[in-house]
Amino acid sequence: MADLSINLAGIKSPNPFWLASAPPTNSGYQVQRAFEAGWGGAVWKTLGDPILNVSSRFAAVSFNGQRVAGFNNIELITDRPIEVNLKEIYETKKRFPNHAIIVSLMVEPKQEKWHEIVKRVEDVGVDGLELNFGCPHGMAERGMGSASGQVPELVERQTFWVKEVATTPVIVKLTPNITDITATAEAAVRGGADAISMINTINSLMGVDLDNWNTIPHVAGKGAHGGYCGPAVKPIALNMVAECARNSRINVPISGIGGISSWQDAVEFMLMGATGVQVCTAAMHHGFRIVEDMIDGLNNYLDEKGIASVSELIGKSVPRYSDWGNLDLNYNIVAKINTDVCINCNKCHIACEDTSHQCIDMLTDTNGNSYLKVREEDCVGCNLCSIVCPVDGAIDMVEVSSDLQPMTWNERQAALNLVAQCKTDVAK
């Protein structure tokens, strides 16, 4: 059995699975239930001046039978007084001393406000703080959350104020509602952050009711944008984690968040640089006990790979993530259709013919049976046929050898520039 424990900027937890700051971590009752189920840590739902919420708060996208492919909320931070939360945090930590309790914080961008809340929260014995610079709705209209998190100077300054008084590790949670998340991640590092976490939710409107033309969700006939999360956002989150992980100026641990629903998702985030992961939507969809499968699956994976500690995964795929200009232009793959598996639905042919490179022929053999065949010389290896194919194993994308040496776009352009500089010499 592998060692699943992690140490994120000094915050230790028995496994890499934390609950994210959200409705599942609203109270001591919930967090203690989560720890009993096996979660390694929890980021307490954001503390700040208690807010007022609206009724009708969540909405979800179902896609082709999968419930909660994407999830949206317009709920704000805690609506309970800080004394109540702190009492429950203290009790929870006392009962689960080896589990990580991190507390999410959000106050106005004023130094004294940050100093006050940091001191009060740390007094009850938390393992770390997470600064909520990401919540995109409601609080942002008041200059907090993503409104702060979209301005690098504000991220840096507020992080600095927190670090002036904090004695526990400080994680800065970043918003994805920005062109380049590395800009705010770098600002957090400049401000002294011990770690960063990403992503918070993405601005979203889930839909419009075709019968009554109300937004989904709506509050008495009016709607406002919410924060989007769940499996649909995972690729966006994974890219943002990877972009930060490969940035040499962002040299702090990363807590990965965004659509993580399984142990496989967690491994992907860790391979791309996350030290641990935070989960919300999957727990809201399936309950706290999904962590049991996550722990078992991760354990089995590590054992099968012969890996002693989950921490050995961290960042292993980061060197494989680069800019497009560093990809090999002479690397080629082509589609191969396995006719013994293919059911001749022709989806690959239609997709290729209509929207790609017209290289899959519909043929008939000597017995009059239809079959599909790829003209490999015209195949560009786009993967579309294998993506739309409904049958596993019917289409393989296989590498074809090239007589040409690997060549990236950057290498090509450098060569072109060189020949332009040298043409006079050659002519001489």
Contact between 411 and other proteins by CB under 8 A: the answer reads yes
Buried b (16+ CB within 10 A) or exposed e, 291-316: beebbeebbebbeeeeeeebbebbbe
Stretch that binds other proteins, among 209-217, 336-344, 390-398, 415-423 (CB under 8 A): 415-423
Query: Of 366 and 405, which CB lies nearer to other proteins in the complex structure?
Result: 405
- The answer to whether the beta carbons of residues 108 and 143 sit under 8 Å apart is yes
Q: Minimum distance between the CB of residue 409 and other proteins, rounded to whole angstroms?
A: 9
Contact with other proteins (CB under 8 A) among 374, 378, 383, 386: 378
Does 407 help bind other proteins (rule: CB under 8 A)? yes
On whether the CB atoms of residues 330 and 404 are closer than 8 A, the answer is yes
Q: Is residue 220 near other proteins by the rule CB under 8 A? A: no
What is the smallest separation between the CB atom of 349 and other proteins, expressed in angstroms?
17
Can you name the residues that pair with 103 across neighbouring β-strands?
Answer: 44, 129
Q: Which is nearer to other proteins, 1 or 426 (CB)?
A: 426
Compare residues 52 and 426 and give the one whose CB is closer to other proteins.
426
Q: How many CB atoms lie within 10 A of CB 376?
A: 14
1 scored as a contact of other proteins (CB under 8 A)? no
Rounded least distance, CB 334 to other proteins, Å: 12
| Residue 136 · residue 181 · CB < 8 Å | no
Tell whether residue 405 is a contact of other proteins (CB under 8 A).
yes
Tell me the Cα Rg of the chain: 25
423 binds other proteins (CB under 8 A): yes
**Site residues for other proteins, window 330-369 (CB under 8 A)?**
330
Residue 272: name the closest of 252, 246, 291 by CA.
246
Token pair belonging to 299: 């354990």
* Alpha-helical regions (H) of 275-383: 281-286, 290-305, 347-355
Intra-chain end-to-end CA distance of the chain, in Å = 70
Among 1, 210, 220, 426, binds other proteins (CB under 8 A): 426
Q: Name the segment binding other proteins (CB under 8 A); options: 8-16, 63-71, 257-265, 417-425.
A: 417-425
φ/ψ of 381, rounded to 5, equals 70, 40
For other proteins, the closer of residues 164 and 378 by Cβ is: 378
Residue for token pair 């937890």: 13
CB-based contact 227:136 (threshold 8 Å): yes
Separation CA 123–CA 106 (nearest Å): 17
Of 116 and 328, nearer to other proteins (C-beta) is 328
Number of residues that bind other proteins (CB under 8 A): 18
Closest separation in Å from C-beta 31 to other proteins: 56
**267-271 long-range contacts, Cβ below 8 Å, gap at least 24?**
267/298, 267/301, 267/313, 268/238, 269/237, 269/238, 269/241, 270/16, 270/310, 270/313, 270/314, 270/315, 271/313, 271/314, 271/315, 271/316, 271/317, 271/318
The pattern of x and - marking residues 313 through 332 that bind other proteins according to CB under 8 A reads ----------------xx--
Catalytic residue set: 135
- Shortest Cβ distance from residue 330 to other proteins (Å)? 6
305 binds other proteins (CB under 8 A): no
Verify binding: residue 401, other proteins, rule CB under 8 A.
no
Of 318 and 329, CB closest to other proteins? 329
52 binds other proteins (CB under 8 A): no
Which range binds other proteins by CB under 8 A, 32-40, 95-103, 195-203, 401-409?
401-409
Answer for which of 368, 377, 392, 401 binds other proteins (CB under 8 A) is 377
Q: State the nearest-atom distance from the C-beta of 360 to other proteins, in Å.
A: 14
Report the amino acid identity of residue 288.
Answer: F
The owner of tokens 């690729």 is 235
CB of residue 326 vs other proteins: minimum separation in angstroms? 15
List interacting residues with other proteins (CB under 8 A).
329-330, 377-378, 404-405, 407, 411-412, 415-416, 418-420, 422-423, 426-427
